Structure 1
Amino acid sequence: MNDEQPDIVDWGLFEKNRSELGPGFIRILSYFREDGSKSVAQIEEAMREENTPALVIPAHTIKGEARQLGAEPLAKIAELIESTARLCVETHRFPDELVPQVVELRNLFDQTVHLFDRATNPLMTRSGQAGFGRKVTNQNFGRI
């Protein structure tokens, strides 16, 4: 998992929070998945509708949750969207320049959720392995 895309998730922070939160960590991940998905959709809708104020809260939500889980690149894009939207609200303009970041936000969110799932779901880790006698690599699932 670390060798594919090490720059998307800080696995050290992810595992630290996983061990500190114990069984509640999976619940936190489910909140991230649900809230993040809604927030990304709200940001995309705000961009389509050119509703600058509607960009701020969902971007802020993703930023905080991503940082808590070690997904700093996702948090940085959300932070850029949030800060740019706040500035544009003050100057009464729409941030057209954020379109590439909003597209990247969706892609990075999806990739991050996939990596989190692989790190926490033993079925995803094993799905590519067929037959008997294959070594299972995710034997630390659920262990604190």
Structure 2
Amino acid sequence: MSSSDELILEAAASVLAQHVAAPGASEQHPDLIPLELLQQYIAHAKDLRPKLTAACHDILTDLYATLRAYCAHYLAEPLTIRAVESMIRMSEACAKIHLSEEVTESHVKMAAKVFLENFMETQFFAIRENIRTRYSSILNFSF
């Protein structure tokens, strides 16, 4: 086990310890995940390499192109190719959380939502509100 694996497991154990009030607390809180199961889940999720589908590729491409054009037109903070890279990584991470072998449209929308919410914080108020209106379907997305 690598040192990063140990850190993840220690962090998970620490979080679980905060929620366990006393011996037998899992009986009081049946929705708590046993530590061994959490460790297996994390190990399995880390091994996954979700693939981006063509439909998801198109969604990301379209979002990047329209948002970049919008930023250029309204003199907003510029958008770089790193934005697409970060949305891809977030989409893959979301797929891993769901133990999915494939990145779905839902994973991409969740990543785009997180990206847009953070991107809007870098913009002036009028631009932020315009982005909020234009991309409301993504910003209102939930699993």
Q: Rg bigger for which structure?
A: 2
Q: TM-score, normalised by structure 1?
A: 0.28
Structure number with higher relative contact order (C-alpha < 8 Å, ≥ 6 residues apart): 1
